[in-house]
Amino acid sequence: MKRLFLLTVAIAGITAESFAQQVPVDYPIQPVPFTQVHFHDQFWAPRMETNRLVTIPYVLALCRKEGRIDNFLKAAGKMPPGKLTEYPFDDTDIYKLIEGASYSLQVKPDPALEASVDTLIAIIAAAQEPDGYLYTFRTMKPEKPHEWAGTKRWEKDPELSHELYNCGHLYEAAAAHYLATGKKSMLNIATKNADLLVQVFSVGKAPWFPGHQVVEMGLAKLYRVTGKKEYLELAKYFLDIRGTGVIQGAEYNQSQQPVTSQHTAVGHAVRAAYMYTGMADVAALTGNTEYIHAINDIWKDVADHKLYLTGGIGATGNGEAFGAAYDLPNMSAYAETCASIANVYWNSRMFYLNGNAQYVDVLERILYNGLLSGISLSGDKFFYPNPLASMGQHQRSPWFNCACCISNMTRFMSSVPGYTYAQQGNKLYVNLYVASNADITLPAGKLRIGQETQYPWKGKVKMTIEPQQTAAFSLYLRVPGWAKGEAVPGSLYAFMENKRIPVTVSVNGKSLKPVMEKGYAVINRSWKKGDKVEIDLPMEIQKIVATDSVKADRGRFALQRGPLVYCLEGPDNADSAVQNIVVARNAAFTTQDAPTMFNSVVLLKGKGTASKKMENSSAIAKSEQTVTAIPYYAWNNRGPSEMEVWIPYVDSMARPKPASTIASRAKASGSLKQTKMLKGLNDQYEPESSQDHNSLFLHWWPNTKTQEWVQYDFDKEYTVSRSDVYWFDDGPFGGCRIPASWKLYYRNGDQWIPVKTTGTYTVHKDQYDTISFEPVRTNALRLEVQLPADHSAGIQEWKVE
């Protein structure tokens, strides 16, 4: 039987009324379109309004300023090529912005915004070549082609050209715009481009696969909108050609083996999650069970070995990639915002395939923590990585040259309501608890369902069911894992204590004991207008521990209340420090409402002990203090500071606040483009190795062969006679190695004079190099570094005595 597919949000906001075509088979569970779900809560609704009024206009202005729109004008011949922007995927920032604006227009009409979108689409259309090709970095014919683009179409795509990646985001934006406005202006651009791909690619034709996956998802959307089966077949082709040996594959982009033979998550985390999402889409539309078996195994690998407590994925900045099993560092956690969005898409698809609440549990964790942390409360500052600890070196940025995370947030925020409800026949799933109203059509009839709740701060949810006429259907209420003793799906994390307070459910004031099915409390009945349903989820403060295999979290616990992970942040704790705090395993925490903080939050309060090193002594002073925790998503809205999610309960895991030294009091400067890295010189962090990414370090990459320098200007004159330096070296994969040589100078008046060494300059990896010299009295030292011939270099820490 043909079924209209209602999958929205990640699948493009499709409504039953707006379908251009029918598709014969699709996901067994279908979400209620986000345009039919209207939030009026105090948590998500204000953020969606900020996205509409602040983030989307802000990103549009920055795209104009940073040359993203000019790229299309240059490709259309309306501007001389001149200088390229930095990345060949910069086109997608415009596509994602249009997608986000389209979602926003579906939620709230805005003539000015719609006019801006129409103008952008006209500019894009003018840049498209007659045969449908659309890739501004080639079409504008720059004097010097971008090194990632190659000399011919498509041939560099499995590496870095991003031609097919750009196509994928174009298709997603086109589907969203068409379904939001009914206009075909962008859809025509997309289908013309997709028709070109169908001509160029497929079995026996061009053997390239996408280097950065997303076109598979986009083609699936175009197939749903147009009914053109060639788009679906091409999406499957792009999946099936990976790892076949036709061209060299690599784990980095999940092409090391056929996708159906992959059973663990490897490589670039965003590419991976987009591919797993595309596999789910194609599997749902074709019935391919091999894809489903593979992504089931991969999902379990992530849940058991590679998922951050915040829902983030991608542990390492080296390749923006998954690490090895249990390799989940906190301060150097990458957990890219784009990866969180991709992880939401993937988990939503897993739910639509399987109907298991565990996937929505992960999705909710991402939404409230690792994704929401990616944007400031003001809507105009952003995180690319989302670390779980900081010494103050992290700071949200107003822009990135690689702006993928920023534009991704614009398209995501307006679509959050689409994750609230889903349906399968006369089964109605309630997945998210948000004060809202929704209009839903089941085979049993039309109904309106309303939610009143202060979730995520309070666990009581009151629902009113308003069918147009008495109707029999099943209501599936998700009981989050955290409400029934499961910290996170999988074996990575567990509650330290088993606080099992029952979840209560009632209908019209009468308590029920509903049947549980795959994490849902199921209520089967004949519903009439005005029926009331209540579910009360216990909002207990829970301590979470990681399995002992996660080295970074040993001897530590994290705090969670409801769906929210908490962290300690400097401004709320003594001496603006949190790395030095220890809290006993059995310490009690209480809640405190803070209506004026971060647009109103609930804080957690407990007792702990802070440690501090004494000056000119090996002694450590300890003091008791009140410990305050804030929701993780809200951190870094007051400027850079210390932060920690995983709180030590073992003294050895804490880092006592260092005593002041000559170096720590000095003002650091150097021959660096990114001066914020200078904080790493004298932050007094003791690196575990030259490749330690857990604290801030500095480097001169991509420079090679040059002579560079760093300098300390002391707060006064000192007599000094020794210096210790710990080099940064991220070999064998990174671009930095220990330097060729180094030399130390002291300032005497206006001159820099070499110190008279009493030893030999040495250069070692994974240890301090120490140089002693005849005592000098000075107010500044300079360290000159000769970079090696083929690599750059960097410094972890520089001490002076």
pLDDT in tens, 667-679: 999 999 888 889 8
Whole-number pLDDT of residue 22: 60
pLDDT at 21: 53
The pLDDT tens digits of the residues spanning 768-785 come to 999 999 999 999 999 999
Count of residues for the chain? Answer: 801
| Residues 326 and 381: beta-carbon distance below 8 Å | no
**Pair 127, 69: CB distance under 8 Å:** no
The more confidently predicted of residues 19 and 147 is: 147
CA pair distance 555, 567, nearest whole angstrom: 16
pLDDT of 4? 30
Q: Give the burial class of 130: count Cβ atoms within 10 A of its Cβ; 0-12 exposed, 13-18 middle, 19 or more buried.
A: exposed
Q: Write out the CATH class of domain 662-800.
A: mainly beta
What pLDDT score was predicted for residue 386? 98
CATH topology of domain 9-419: Glycosyltransferase (1.50.10)
* Neighbour count for residue 109 (Cβ, 10 Å): 11
> Nearest-CA neighbor of 323 among 306, 342, 299, 343?
306
- pLDDT tens for 30-64 read 999 988 999 999 999 999 999 999 999 999 999 99
The mean pLDDT value of the chain amounts to 94
Q: CA-CA distances (angstroms) from residue 49 to 36, 53, 510?
A: 17, 6, 38
User: Span 207-218, mean pLDDT?
Assistant: 96
Mean pLDDT over 490-507 rounds to 93
Percent of the chain with pLDDT over 70: 97
Report percent pLDDT > 90 for the chain.
88
Which pLDDT tens digit goes with each residue over 226-259? 999 999 999 999 999 999 988 889 999 999 999 9
Domain boundaries, given as residue ranges, for the chain:
9-419, 422-536, 555-653, 662-800
Confidence of residue 500 (pLDDT cuts 50, 70, 90): confident
Instruction: Name the nearest CA neighbour of 478 among 368, 363, 565.
Output: 363
For 422-536, give the CATH class.
mainly beta
* Token pair belonging to 479: 């009981």
- Is the pLDDT assigned to residue 10 strictly greater than 60? no
Exposed / middle / buried, residue 629 (Cβ in 10 Å: 0-12, 13-18, 19+): buried
- Do the Cβ atoms of 175 and 187 come closer than 8 Å? yes
Residue 670's pLDDT is: 96
Determine the Cα–Cα distance for residues 230 and 209; give it in Å rounded to an integer: 17
Confidence of residue 19 (pLDDT cuts 50, 70, 90): very low
First vs last Cα of the chain: how many Å apart? 80
Contact predicate 625/587, CB 8 Å: no
Neighbours of 227 (CB within 10 A): 15
- Per-residue pLDDT of 519-534, as tens digits, reads 999 999 999 999 999 9
Which pTM value belongs to this model?
Answer: 0.93
3-class secondary structure for 64-117?
A: HHCCHHHHHHHHCCCCCCCCCCCCCCCHHHHHHHHHHHHHHHHHCCCHHHHHHH
Peptide bond into 210 cis (omega under 30): no
- Judged against a pLDDT cut of 60, whether residue 20 lies above it is answered with no
- What's the rounded Cα separation, in Å, for the pair 578 and 645? 10
Local confidence band at 12 (pLDDT 50, 70, 90 cut-offs): very low
Residues 6+ apart with CB under 8 A from 608: 581, 582, 583, 584, 587, 624, 625, 626, 627, 647
